Chain A
């Protein structure tokens, strides 16, 4: 292999992880933008999709991975709605600390339910597509390429939806100024619910795209939450969607470069360093509007 193999690997895998980190973050980011809710159950919702799909495919023997995937997404949307309508909605006007405590508690409950019902051992979701392809001399599994491509495509669709449709424009209106949007006749509560459903779909798809690449365990919920939180803090809460992609790229490449140049053991720490530095020196993030 040529000398430049490692640098090319960092470059290519950086693109894949940028796409996946962006998708992992978007649901969390949207809910904060619209409802100003810091929802710490977001990572557990992503994890739950993986488990629902796993149970449908292997436990109930639905047979078809496609049906399992759809079932996983539907399950995720339902869980997101239950969490919102049953718990979060009641604390919408409460201080952020109360919301953080509530959602952290719910996240722990979801994780314990998974451990008690499915068990702590790692589960594997089958790949949607087999084989591998070389890009710039770096060999990737077709699943990794597919996951990255779907993530980018979904983000493009989301941007189009928010800019070109009436509902999308109404969501943006509520995000920018809730009171004015309500005065213009927009039903803010309805927009909250629609955003929750969109966030649930994004979380579900994110889970399904990441699951075949890495092992599914009850711990990945918190890890995804840390990733989403770091990317969102760096992008700046309430900012544009492309800001999330830029922030995701910074986090993904920081992790890979840390593993390459410093030590693989410090790879996960790179995200925390970014989070701390952002909070210390630029609390509103790179593109945020909320301090």
Chain B
């Protein structure tokens, strides 16, 4: 009788303990991920959507360390003051565990010190400037070590591939035509020196410009055969239409955020034949890794459209890589996660590529991109209404071409 009572007592105690533990797990506070970006631009909207996609996936697969993950989102309205406010709200009012955000480099540069001061991890949502990682981490590791990016600061190198390939095809005189923006300023300075003897026309334009008649006329008058164009704003479609309509006898290469859109052939009314741009390969609908295509299809299902800007894949990978670091560390505590993300055996497979490890300035490395190449980025050209990747060589799906009408105008 006594033994039965004891057994019953142990059973009751076990059930009570179990219920208490379950209750504790259920009541464990969620892990908070803060997001802030420029929602009125497709780049910033992409960052937000990438974070949403990652959180959706983490929660659908049981959460992180057994805890639910919650996203807190603020529009920074593409304004430096609003960006600072958003970051401060996330850090001190919402008390987030990590922040992912910023597509515009100028805003990321302004907000980064605030996040570092609070010793929280900053996952770069799409800024391409070398300042945030390469310059600052190299100069002051202890202050800036909490920053990680899945947008390589070398991304502009993939824009330059169009020039390199065009030169191989016998084109040589360059018209340099890039927007005036923080992310590309160091690169434009570099190219201005590197190609000094080849540049026959050079112009910078504002990020709101949509008319390039004068700049194209100058390029044509200087007999340029390469239009090296760069725009992360809305100049993309009008510039391509104008290049085609004005019959500028030069190949159009560089960085054009509109030309990254899988629907660009339709948007440009078929005028994009031969236009080359850089893009994150994992969001083009190509199987860069085994996660790329499922992500591409899931994105389409969730948002009812194809991934337009590269930033969605970048932000998704940033959050998922951080989650991988949290699992390795077994905690969300910042210092421990930084150490885990710095491990040489980090090995995270994302949609944009495989991150074997983050290098000394916390840029991703591995997955087919060599040292000094922009991880995750490819160069593609529009050919017969399709995006053909012509760089890097172990991922490429075709070769760069010169459009027939350009050949004809140049008598080639």
Contact = CB atoms under 8 A, between A and B. Distances in A.
- Is chain B a partner of chain A in the same complex? yes
Nearest to B263: A124
B217 A144 contact: no
Contact of B217 (A9, A126, A215, A268): A9
Contacts of A6: 214, 217-218, 221
B21 interface: no
A100 interface: no
A93 interface: no
B214 A9 contact: yes
Contacts of A132: 245-247
A230 B40 CA distance: 26
Contacts of B68: none
Interface stretch (A40-48, A164-172, A217-225): A217-225
A264 B217 contact: no
Interface string A39-60: 0000000000000000000000
A215 B237 contact: yes
A251 to B, nearest CB: 13
B268 interface: yes
A122 B40 CA distance: 10
Contacts of A127: 269
A265 B180 contact: yes
B204 A268 contact: no
A17 B213 CA distance: 11
Contacts of B204: 263-265
A267 B209 contact: yes
Contacts of B213: 9, 13, 256
A161 interface: no
B241 A141 contact: yes
A154 interface: no
A10 interface: yes
Among B211, B223, B237, B258, residue most surrounded by chain A Cβ atoms (within 10 Å): B211
Interface of B: 39-42, 44-45, 180, 203-206, 208-215, 217-218, 220-221, 223, 234-238, 241-242, 245-247, 258, 267-269, 308
Interface of A: 1, 3, 5-6, 9-10, 13, 17, 115, 119-122, 124, 126-127, 130, 132, 138-141, 143-144, 213-215, 217-219, 223, 256, 259-260, 263-265, 267-268
26 contacts: A6-B217, A6-B218, A9-B213, A9-B217, A13-B211, A13-B214, A17-B211, A115-B39, A119-B45, A120-B44, A122-B42, A126-B269, A132-B245, A138-B217, A138-B246, A139-B246, A141-B245, A143-B245, A219-B40, A219-B208, A259-B215, A260-B218, A263-B203, A264-B203, A264-B215, A268-B208
The 7 closest A-B CB pairs, nearest first, are: A141-B245, A9-B217, A214-B210, A121-B42, A264-B205, A124-B267, A13-B213
